[in-house]
Amino acid sequence: MYYVVTGAAGFIGSNLVKALNGRGVTDIIGVDDLRQGDKLLNLADCDIADYLDKDEFIERIEEGAFDGAIGAVLHQGACSDTTEADGRYLMDTNYRYSQRLLDYCISDEVHLIYASSAAIYGAGREFREARECEAPLNLYGYSKFLFDQLVRRRFEERTAQIVGLRYFNVYGAREQHKGRMASVACHFFNQYRGSGHVRLFTGSGGYGDGEQRRDFVSVEDCVKVNLFFLEQPGKAGIFNVGTGNAQSFNEVAVATVNACRKARGEAPLTLAAMRERGVIQYIPFPDDLKGRYQSYTQADITALRAAGYDAPFLTVEQGVARYCQTLLQRAAA
């Protein structure tokens, strides 16, 4: 039986492939859209059985080419650009494609674990997997919201496991291809290494400069949650994937800078010292993000814990330090 990972060459997808390899699993069909070819490097140290373009894959499963041959689909592929303005493209990629996968998984009794998003919650202050908490601010969030709603409507039709994972702000290895949509930890690392300072937004949403708060979650933890559900096929539903603790952009910046300083044998600096020295600088909040920006997110992980996932999550200080070590090792190679 094959495991299918869509978005296999992308950020979370490639980390999942690598983790499956670590468990001795190589019967993996990697599915992706490689018009951005450089992200294929994410799979250079991974082993898969086959690669298919995302359009070819969906056509072949609908033709019955893989009937009885697929045990689970880990659906990570999507347009993840939260500023994408082409609604038709977003809906086709994030909603219609996912709908076709859902149809297949229900009809062929295939387990489906798919990527949802905290963008569904919009500017709300309660981040619980409930309809009254959901009000996306952008097209990306709406495309994810609409598919979650479809899953809820069809949940009783399932013939196998269906799990939706609402990722909060994910950072970590194998995101170098994402450009401006890479995590703030990635941007801060590149800025500090390139210029000796990092740039954060001035205050917004009632928060001070750099004090906007998000639930920053390591891709390592996201992979662990995926594998937990893969090993627990009797568990189903939609679950938040975050640490359950909001931390500020300032804290991410401090963790990034100090990880780089530690690698050079330099003493850590406080936030106040970084501000005083100009290591942390603040730039005006962008006009195009006003009214479309989440100044605060914090996952309610009650449902995830109730499902039996009891592993601790990395804090920003722990996870960003580990991530920066990986980036520094790659830069030195």
Which residues are catalytic, by number?
140, 178
SS (H, E, C) 171-205: ECCCCHHHHHHCCHHHHHHHHHHHHCCEEEECCEC
Give the C-alpha distances (Å, rounded to integers) separating 222 from 2, 182, 280: 21, 16, 29
One-letter amino acid for residue 106 of the chain: I
Length of the chain: 333
Report whether 62 contacts 100 (CB < 8 A): yes
Measure the CA–CA gap between 174 and 165, rounded to whole angstroms.
Answer: 19
Coil/strand/helix, residue 312: coil
Residue with tokens 């996968």: 101
Residue 263 tokens read as: 């690698």
Report whether 319 contacts 247 (CB < 8 A): no
